[in-house]
Chain A
Amino acid sequence: EAAVTQSPRSKVAVTGGKVTLSCHQTNNHDYMYWYRQDTGHGLRLIHYSYVADSTEKGDIPDGYKASRPSQENFSLILELASLSQTAVYFCASTEQNSGNTLYFGEGSRLIVV
Chain B
Amino acid sequence: AQSVTQPDARVTVSEGASLQLRCKYSYSATPYLFWYVQYPRQGLQLLLKYYSGDPVVQGVNSFEAEFSKSNSSFHLQKASVHWSDSAVYFCALSRGGSNNRIFFGDGTQLVVKP
Select from chain A the residue with minimum beta-carbon distance to B93: A98
0 or 1 for each of B60-96: is its CB under 8 Å from A? (1 = yes): 0000000000000000000000000000001010111
0 or 1 for each of A67-82: is its CB under 8 Å from B? (1 = yes): 0000000000000000
> Count of chain B residues with Cβ under 8 Å from any Cβ of A?
27
Instruction: Give which listed residue, A45, A48, A98, A105, contacts B96 with CB less than 8 A.
Output: A98
CB of B92, distance to nearest CB on chain A (Å) = 8
* Contact status B104-A43, CB under 8 Å: yes
Distance in angstroms between the alpha carbons of A101 and B60 in the assembled complex: 14
CB of A113, distance to nearest CB on chain B (Å) = 21
0 or 1 for each of B94-112: is its CB under 8 Å from A? (1 = yes): 1111111110111100000
| A-to-B contact residues, CB < 8 Å | 4, 31, 33, 35, 40-43, 45, 48, 50, 90, 92, 94, 96-102, 104-107
Give 9 nearest A-B pairs by CB, closest first: A104-B43, A42-B106, A99-B32, A98-B94, A43-B104, A42-B104, A104-B44, A101-B46, A98-B100
